[in-house]
Structures are given as structure tokens and as C-alpha cells.
Structure 1
Amino acid sequence: MTRREMLKQISMAALAFTLPTSINSFKNYNDMNTPKKFEAIIVGGSYSGLSAAMALGRSLRNVLIIDSGLPCNRQTPHSQNFITQDGATPKEISQKAKSQVLKYNTVNFIEEIAIKGKQANNTFHILTASGKEFETKKLIFATGIKDIMSSIKGFSDCWGISVVHCPYCHGYEIKNKKTGIIANGEMAFHLASLVNNLTDDLGILTRGKAIFDPEQMAKLNKNNIRIIEKEITEIEHENGYIKNVIFNDNSREPFEATYAPLPFKQHSDIPELLGCELNEQGYIQVDTMYRTTIEGVFACGDNCSRMRSVANAVASGNIVGAVVNMELTNEQF
């Protein structure tokens, strides 16, 4: 054996000796050898999921985050109303959070899609699209919700850019612009009352006969809020920024931004398949500590709250992480 070959073998042996054999060796890899059993599995690795993982990682809990890599706000240019991160892009916040969370040695991350879940012998099993299966005693869903896009041409291209859902998340950035509200009835009235403070040029696009009671109509008139009852056929835009709203009579009107509350569905059906109940609005039913109706299963972020914001997602995930750690402690101590 030559000296070079000998040195190479010694180097390889040293490398094998120093490679970690614990759960940490699989951190952030789509590796078929990832250990199957964890103290907690978090399905969804955006803001609430990462926040829960940080709390658990700081308590040395062996955690797996399973994330699809497709956050619902991926089309939004900037995130607002989150202190210390105001104006950052959603991707910047998420990447920074992930880098910080994965510094905790017991937190693991794989980019996968969880497709099935089952419970057996007080253990939860999660199966991914690639066929990997993982086990855990505690299961956290940070899966968010999926907006059901309007069929209006151009609508989805503008979603999160100039067609937005929340005045707290986006209102300041579109202040003083000609603004529409694509809604009717109680929701339209509620949004109009909030948005009226942000612009003097506001119209409600009801897409049909307006549904307001006399008191609501009087308030809308008092605040000079126009009501447009024509059906919308297209949102004309440039790179997601509205130029005109086109109606079914071929007329058009320039707008710079619109609000549009959308129906939604749960992004993952696994919680329901496990028996987690949904409330009347379609959110996962949780208590004040974010426990679902199935013992050992938790939910945080947009999938269980109408307060759809990065700040709220982070806060709820932080609480869930602490509660899950407390339950594990009570079971093991």
C-alpha cells in the first residue's frame, strides 16, 4: 500500500468516526434513512410550524418538520405588520427562520408532502408522497388553508399583489389608491368600514344585486362609498398589478387595488381523517392551548384561526411548542 493510499484510508476512517450517528445526522435531508420515530412531528414548515419547532428544539425534543415547500403567500411581494420583519419578503422571513430553527440539533426538516395519517397504539403514523413513514407521540398540524380562487380572468395572477385579503397585512401599502372591494353583504360592509380610513376613493363591486340592510346602506352613502352591481368578467393587470376591472357589459373602470375575501378549504385533509373536528367556519377546532379534538394532535397558524397573519402564526406556533413539550414532560417525568 502506498503512502497516499494509506493516508486516504486514515482520512476516510476519521470522517466516518466523526460523522454524527444521532438523529442530527439527517438534518435537512430527503434521506430514506431518516429515523422513523420522533417525539413530535410537525406537518407544515412555514411560520407557525417553524415557531413550534424552535420551542421544542430548545427543549431538546427530537422533532421532524415535513414541508411541501409551497407556502400560500409565495406570490406576495412583501410581508407587513410583523414587528422586526416589516417589509421583508415572505421568503426572506421563512429562510431566516428555517436557518435559525435548524441550528437546534434535535430539529430535522424534510421537503415532502404528507399524504396520509393514522393512529395505532397511542402512536401517530405519517406517510409521505415518496413512501416514507414516520411515527410520533405528538402531532402538530401547521398546514394552513388553501384559498379557492375566483374564476374571474386575471384574478389569481393578482392575488396577494394587488388583489388582497386583509387591510392589516396590505392596507397601508395601497393607501390613497382607488380601491375596490369584491364582496357583498355583511363581509363587504365590514371590509368597507375598515378600508374607508385608508382611501377616499372606495367602491364595492357586488357582482350582482347589492345585499345591504337600510342601516348599512345609509352608512355606505354617508361615507361616499359607491356600489357597483355589475358582474366582473376580467381583471386587467400588468404583472399582477391591477389596471382595470372589466364588466359583463364590456365597460371598464380603472382600479389600483381590490380586497377580496375568498372561500377556503383545509390545505391538508389528514387532520379530518384522524378525526379532528372542524368548526362552523371550516377551521380546525382547537382549545386555548391549540389542542384539537383528538388527544395528542395540535394545530396552529391559519388552519385554526381567522387571524391570518405571520405574527399570529408565529405566536400560535410558539404556544403549541411549549404545550407539546409540557405534555411530553408530564408523560415522561
Structure 2
Amino acid sequence: MIIDCAVIGGGPAGLNASLVLGRSRRKTILFDDDNPRNAVTSESHGFMTRDGIDPKELRRIAQEELDKYPDVKIEKQRVQSVHKENGLFQIETVNGDAFKAKKIILATGFKEILPDIERVKEFYGISLFSCPFCDGWEMRDRPLAVIAETPRGFHLAKVASNWTEDLIVCTNGKQIFSADEKTVLENNGIQIYEQEILSLIGEKGFIEKIAFADGTVVACEGGFIAPRWEQASSFGLSLGCKLNSQGGIETDGLKRTTVEGVYACGDTLIAGASQLIIAAGEGSMAALSVNAAFIEEKFE
């Protein structure tokens, strides 16, 4: 059987894309290997009517809603390869199953590579986060730290300062700021620690101190990390999609990639763009674009 559209990735973008496709009566398969990037997160914020919801619960509700639409099927398995042959996308899973689709939506997102710092994974998702807009409110007015090993730390520090006046920046031994950037941060009361971090200190996921290799210890009660981002899958590259300057898949305003029949949405486009509501909206746009393409083909 040839389906209309395969959606790869079961996060907010892929789920919303599948919903719109199902409501448009397009035979759709959503591939979800149940390995979300935000698995460590206990609450999602910034989505009206769902502020503070557990991401697992959000996915459960979304999948339950998709069950209402007979043209949408959820395959809970990982896609291994995708290629185009004779105008159709050939999809193979790690279980050895094969599918054919007329169009494809990539919603696979990015994966985070955390700095190599002792105990960092214990605190990530509980008191250390990557997105101030997602988690800054819960940590407002506390002593916070920004941990960054790349120049992105300058922007992250400026954004994080919106929620606290007690902020430090730790570069873990890396020289990431220009002299002008250091001046800007220091003039705004943000102290910079360029020493190597020995370890993070705290209990049950809640950070209390940062210990540096030179013996310095600084107190903090939370903060933000600037992770390194990588595409979670190589499907875009293997299909020949062009990447943008941020390493995401390049699309136009309708979420069409540079490859005919391939669409992309959500975190797959921009590393670190982790706002739930934005990803869901982009999934909707990708699905609308797929549907519009089918309608135009029908009337050609």
C-alpha cells in the first residue's frame, strides 16, 4: 500500500502535522520511536491551555486524539533509512518493515550534546535547562548560572538575565567571549568564571554549588546550559536536503525543503528552538503545505 504522507518524528511538530493530515483525509503514518529530546523534562510551558503539562501526558493526549482519525496510523518504531525511488519515498524501519509514501515530513529534531562536566546529567531537566523562556519563570529571582562553552553563551546570558539579577557565566575553561562582550556582561552585573569546572554539587537533581578546578566554589540554585546541537537523524542529508547556517534543514515559508516532496518542521529547522507551541505550529504549516500540494496535483 502506498500512503500519502509519512511523518518521521513523534514530538509536537510531528503530532500536529499528523493531526492536520488526518483531518484532511490523507493516509498518514506517524513514526515515533518514543525517544523524545525532552525526556528529562517534567513540565512543558508556554502552550496555552497546557502550561505546566508533563510532556509524556501531552504526547499521550495527542496520540489519543489521532486515534479518532482512521487515515492516521502510529508506528511505534524507529526509521532506519529513507530514500526516493521512482517518485516514491521508500522507508525502512529497524524492525525490517518497509513502507512507501508520496510525500514525507521530517520532524526528527535535534539532539543535545551536554558539556563534559561531572554530574551535569543529574541536574539537567530538574534545575539546569536549555531554554529560559521554557523554565526561567520557575527559577526567577534566584542565583543562577549560565554554563556555556561556545559563543552562544553571550546571548544566553543576556536572555537569562531577564529572570534574575544574580547571574554568573561559566565557560568551563574556554575563552568564548570577546573583550567587548565581557565588558557588556560585567557592566550588567554578570560575573564571568573562565576556570575549568571540576564538578557540580547538589542533591536529588537540585544544584547548589559549582566547584572549579582552581578551588573556587560558587553558590547557585539553578541555571541554563548551552549544549551542542546535532541533527537527530541523517535523513535530510541522505535525501539531499540543503542545510541552513544553523545546521537545520533549510525550508521556505511553506516548510518545503530543497527536495521535491520533502517537508520539514519543528526543531529540525533550528537548533535550540525548543518552544513547544512553535514546533506544533510548524507541524501544522507543513501538513497544510502537503495538503495544498496534493490539491494542486489533483487539478493539474
Specify the TM-score bucket, using the shorter chain as the normaliser: over 0.9
Q: How many residues align?
A: 298
Q: Distance in 1 between matches of 2:222 and 2:136?
A: 10
What SS does structure 1 have at the residue aligned with 2:136? helix
Report the AA paired with residue 114 of structure 2.
M
Partner of 2:101: 136
Change (3 A) 1:293 1:200: same
Residue of structure 2 in register with 1:119 after alignment: 84
Q: Greater shift after overlay, 162-171 or 240-249?
A: 240-249
Find the aligned partners of 1:229 and 1:62 in 2 and give their Cα distance. 54
The counterpart of 1:256, out of the listed 210, 221, 225, is 221
Distance in structure 2 (CA, Å) of the matches to 1:266 and 1:191: 21
> Which residue is 1:313 aligned to?
279
Shift of 1:85: 0.8
The residue aligned with 1:198 is: 163
SS of equivalent to 1:147: strand
Aligned partners of 2:31 and 2:76 also within 8 Å: yes
The AA in structure 2 aligned to 1:207 is N
2:293 is aligned with 1:327? yes
Worse overlay, 268-277 or 242-251: 242-251
8 Å contact kept, 2:173–2:197:
no
C-alpha separation in 2, matches of 1:212 and 1:44: 36
Unaligned runs of 5+ in 1: 1-35
Q: Give 1:56's match in structure 2, choosing from 14, 18, 21.
A: 21
1:28 maps to what in 2?
Answer: none
* Matched residue, 1:21: none
The aligned amino acid for 1:320 is A
Task: Summarize the Cα distance change of 1:197–1:264 in structure 2 as closer, same or farther, 3 Å threshold.
Answer: closer
Match of 2:48 in 1: 83
TM-score by length of 2: 0.94
Q: Secondary structure at the match of 1:260?
A: strand
1: distance between equivalents of 2:233 and 2:178? 37
- Which of these two proteins has the greater Rg computed from alpha carbons? 1
1:267 counterpart residue number: 232
Deviation of the 1:54 alpha carbon:
0.8
Q: 1:109 to 1:181 in 2, by over 3 A?
A: same
Q: Is the 8 A contact 1:246 1:252 kept in 2?
A: yes
Corresponding residue number in structure 2 for 1:166 = 131
Q: 1:278 aligns with which of 234, 243, 260?
A: 243
Question: Match for 1:287: what amino acid?
Answer: D
User: 1:211: Cα distance to partner?
Assistant: 4.3
Tell me if the contact between 1:55 and 1:321 (Cα under 8 Å) persists in the aligned partners: yes
Give 1:257 shift.
Answer: 1.0
The answer to whether the 8 Å contact 1:66/1:113 transfers is yes
Find 1:92's aligned residue among 48, 53, 57: 57
- Which structure's residues are more often helix, by fraction? 1
Identity of aligned residues (%): 35
Query: Contact 1:182–1:207 (CA<8 Å) still a contact in 2?
Result: yes
Q: Which runs of 4+ in 1 moved over 6 A?
A: none
Report the counterpart of residue 10 of structure 1 in structure 2.
none
Runs (5+) with no aligned partner, structure 2: none
Q: CA RMSD in A?
A: 1.6
TM-score (norm 1): 0.85
